[in-house]
Amino acid sequence: MDIERVQLQMHGDHGGMLIALEQDINVPFVIRRVYYIFATEHDVHRGKHAHRHLRQLAVAVRGSVTILLDDGSGPVEVVLNDPSQGLLMGDMVWRELYDFSEDCVLMVLADHLYDPADYITDYDAFLSEVKGIPYPAGLVACQSV
């Protein structure tokens, strides 16, 4: 699966901690967009989509969140609860975000501007696309098995 947990270098001194995110240094892509998710209610599930062409680095700069990731071979759960840990996600990975702590601030860096056309929001369509089967033909094929 095109995901990787990364440990971010911390710069500590007597006054606290600092982490720098730098393009091509510890962020392995061109940073075109930064967004952050916060004030998410605990019972809310976000995400539920995949991107065709988007690399992202997610960091829970505060609090915690669980992220389910699936490239078609089955789901993997990752908990982000440490501002020094990042999660790199590549193309064609289905993700769902849940179990947000009340204080969670999830910051995400991305290599493209926001583009609704890059989203796949239907899981069956995602499975078909990731397996190289045109949708809805893939859905029809699955149903006839």
Active-site residues, by number, are: 49
Nearer to ligand TYD, 46 or 52 (CB): 46
Buried/exposed code over 33-63 (b: 16+ C-beta within 10 A; e: otherwise): eeeebeebeeeeeeebbbbeebbbbbbbbeb
Q: How far is the CB of 39 from ligand TYD (least distance, A)?
A: 12
Nearer to ligand TYD, 102 or 114 (CB): 114
Of the candidates 93, 19, 11, 20, which has an alpha carbon nearest to the alpha carbon of residue 56? 93
Give the Cα separation of 105 and 17 in Å (integer). Answer: 17
Q: How far is the CB of 74 from ligand TYD (least distance, A)?
A: 21
What residues line the site for ligand TYD (CB under 6 A)? Answer: 33, 35, 37, 46-47, 49, 114
- Burial label, 12 (beta-carbon count in 10 A; 0-12, 13-18, 19+): exposed
Q: How far is the CB of 121 from ligand TYD (least distance, A)?
A: 8
Cα 6 to chain centroid distance, Å, stands at: 13
Q: How far is the CB of 11 from ligand TYD (least distance, A)?
A: 28
Nearer to ligand TYD, 56 or 128 (CB): 56
Nearer to ligand TYD, 46 or 62 (CB): 46
